[in-house]
Amino acid sequence: MSTLEIVDLHASVETDTGDQPILRGVDLTITQGQTHAVMGPNGSGKSTLAYVIAGHPKYRVTQGSITLDGTDVLDMSVDERARAGLFLAMQYPVEIPGVSVSNFLRTSVTAVRGEAPKLRLWLKEMKEAMAALSIDPSFAERSVNEGFSGGEKKRHEILQLELIKPKIAVLDETDSGLDVDALRVVSEGVNRYRESGQTGTLLITHYTRILRYIHPDFVHVFVDGRIVESGGPELATALEDEGYEKFIGAARAGASS
């Protein structure tokens, strides 16, 4: 059973005035079969956590560790992390002109599995996964995310998730920009893969609406670059009722004392 362990993680980003600390001591352990929701106000560092796990070069880890099954993730390149079983669904998926969805997916799956799937079986697997996410089959020959709507981009991210089958999936604000119908379809895709027990899921979100579809085992409140409160699903209900203010105030009072 795979485990992603984050211990005392600090990270910063370079600005015109020098390094700006963003993550300030994150501790989090995610095991296959578990779903963890990280919730917090805008600007709290939630997306930075996702990008640091994935290896974005913009961010510099200054302290702490990230390990996957005991292996140092911080020593891995971005592609090595992906092959090891880490997956990031981005808040703002990028366009890749000239690369078809079909070729992109088959190349990605080949890199992770270590061998290219047989074409006939691959086409069947891809078409079934696309149908389950209500993706038009013609999208297989379109350039990745080029001209896609926000909902179509997010469905394509979950299509990657279902086909690549990572050990740990980091979903960064997957609900951002989705209407109700698209949110339901995307959530169903996440749940299908979650229910296989093959993945641990880190779901990063600002709002509670996606948690009506994807039910977390653990909820963590993220403020000023660190987790300030953890609990079960009932914590998300409290956040919906009360907001983040009391956690923000408590965290800043603790930091100044």
- Please provide the size of the chain in residues: 257
Average of per-residue pLDDT values in the chain: 91
Using the predicted structure, report yes or no on whether residue 35 has a pLDDT greater than 90.
yes
d(CA 250, CA 210): 26
Is 202 among the domain residues? yes
Is 62 among the domain residues? yes
Q: What is the pLDDT of residue 14?
A: 85
Is 194 among the domain residues? yes
Q: What is the pLDDT of residue 256?
A: 55
Encode pLDDT of 64-89 as tens digits. Answer: 999 999 999 999 999 999 999 999 99
Is 198 among the domain residues? yes
Average pLDDT of the residues in 189-201 = 89
Which candidate, 244, 198, 226, 229, places its Cα nearest to that of 35? 198
Note whether 59 and 11 are within 8 A (CB): yes
Q: How confident is the model at residue 131 (pLDDT cuts 50, 70, 90)?
A: very high
Q: How confident is the model at residue 17 (pLDDT cuts 50, 70, 90)?
A: confident
Is 247 among the domain residues? yes
CATH code assigned at 12: 3.40.50.300
Q: Which residues pair with 35 in a beta bridge?
A: 201
Structure tokens at 17: 């005035």
Is 129 among the domain residues? no
Average pLDDT of the residues in 100-125 = 92
Burial (Cβ within 10 Å: 0-12, 13-18, ≥19) of residue 209:
middle
Place of tokens 């948690």: 211
Q: What is the pLDDT of residue 176?
A: 83
Q: What is the pLDDT of residue 42?
A: 87
Which candidate, 195, 164, 189, 163, places its Cα nearest to that of 174? 189
Which candidate, 232, 209, 160, 154, places its Cα nearest to that of 186? 154
Place of tokens 């600090």: 10
Encode pLDDT of 214-241 as tens digits. Answer: 999 999 999 999 999 999 999 998 888 8
Domain count for the chain: 1
Confidence (pTM): 0.91
Q: What is the pLDDT of residue 145?
A: 93
Q: What is the pLDDT of residue 254?
A: 60
% residues pLDDT > 70 (the chain): 97
Please give the residue range of the domain that contains residue 47.
3-94+166-256
d(CA 157, CA 212): 20
Q: What is the pLDDT of residue 124?
A: 94
d(CA 26, CA 23): 7
Average pLDDT of the residues in 144-161 = 92
Is 106 among the domain residues? no
% residues pLDDT > 90 (the chain): 70
Is 119 among the domain residues? no
Q: Which of 34-38, 80-84, 197-201 has the lowest mean pLDDT?
A: 197-201
Using the predicted structure, report yes or no on whether residue 257 has a pLDDT greater than 70.
no
Q: Which of 35-39, 51-55, 89-93 has the lowest mean pLDDT?
A: 89-93
